[in-house]
Amino acid sequence: EKPTIYAITPTFARPVQKAELTRLYQTFLHIPNFHWIVVEDSEIKTKLVTRFFENSSIIYTHIAAATPPNYKLGRNDPNWKKPRGVEQRNAALRWLREYLKVTDRGIVYFADDDNTYSIKLFHEMEKIQKVGVWPVGLVGGLMVEKPICDNVTNKVIGFNAAWKPDRPFPLDMAGFAMNARLLLENKEAMFSYDVEGGYQESEILRHIVSRDELEPLADCCTKVYVWHTRTEPPQLNVEQLLIKKGKRSNVGIEV
C-alpha cells in the first residue's frame, strides 16, 4: 500500500498568494494519497485561504501560525536576513506528531508555495525508507544543486552545493523528504530561529538521519523534478493610484 504524502506549505498574504496556491493545488490533485498541510503566516485563518479550500477537492489541513514580529522580515529587508517558514513548519510538525499513529505509513515533505513540482517527484518519494534526497533546480546560485550519487553503490558520496558547502546537510528544503515515523521517534527534530541562515535543513535532519543513510532518488540524483522558482512581485503602480482615489480594480473580485 502506498504511503500518504504529507506536504507542508507555509504561505503568507500577498498579491500572488492565490495564484501560487492554485498552481500547487492543480499539481497536487494528481497525486493519490496526498494530504496538504497549509500553514498561514497569520494570527488567523484568512478568508482567502479558507474559501480556497472550501472550493477545493483535496485532503487538507489548514492551520494559522504567525511568525513572531521580531522574526518577521521587513518590507525592504533582504530575504537572507531572517529565516522564513520556521513558525509554520514547526506548527505543522506539532500537528503531525499529534495526528499520526505509529503504524501509519507516511512521508513528510516541505513544499514552499512558490516552487515548481513535477508529479514524478511524488512517485519517487514513495520509495523512501528513512530520508530521500534529490536534485533541486535553480537554487544556490546553480542550475542544479544536488547530492552526488555513486551509481555503483547507489549511495550519496557528497554534494555539489556551492553556497555554504560546509553545512552538515547542504540541501535545499525542497531537496529531501522523510518517513513520518522518524518524526515520532525523534521528538526534538524541528526548525529553529537560533541557527545561521541556510542551516534550517541541517537543523531538522541532524536529529533524524546521518549523511551516509541518505537515500538518493530521481535516478541516482540525475533528474530534476523540483525547481526553486521564485515569483516576481507584480507591478501594482497603477493600483496604488486607484487605491488613493478609492477605485480599486478588485472591488468585489477576489484575485
CA distances from 45 to 25, 42, 189 (A): 18, 7, 26
Distance CA 38, CA 193 (A): 20
User: Least distance to ligand UDP from the beta carbon of 65, Å?
Assistant: 9
Binding site for ligand UDP (CB under 6 A): 9-12, 41, 67, 73, 79, 84-85, 88, 112-114, 230
Cell numbers 485561504 label which residue? 49
Nearest to ligand UDP of 67, 149 (CB atom): 67
- Taking CB atoms, the residue at the shortest distance from Mn ion is 114
User: Least distance to ligand UDP from the beta carbon of 245, Å?
Assistant: 29
Distance CA 64, CA 57 (A): 20
Number of residues that bind Mn ion (CB under 5 A): 2
* Residue 112 lies near Mn ion (rule: CB under 5 A): yes
User: Least distance to ligand UDP from the beta carbon of 255, Å?
Assistant: 17
| C-alpha cell recorded at residue 127 | 520509495
Distance CA 135, CA 52 (A): 31
Q: Among residues 201, 213, 215, 254, which one is catalytic? A: 201
113 binds, among ligand UDP, Mn ion, none (CB under 5 to 8 A by kind): ligand UDP
Figure out which of the listed residues 20, 114, 126, 239 binds Mn ion, where binding follows CB under 5 A.
114
Alpha helices in the chain (DSSP H): 17-28, 47-54, 86-99, 119-125, 181-185, 200-205, 218-221, 237-244
Phi and psi for 198 in degrees, rounded to 5? Answer: 90, 0
Nearest to ligand UDP of 186, 229 (CB atom): 229
Nearest to Mn ion of 9, 179 (CB atom): 9
Q: Which residues are catalytic?
A: 201
> Where do contacts with Mn ion occur on this chain (CB under 5 A)?
112, 114
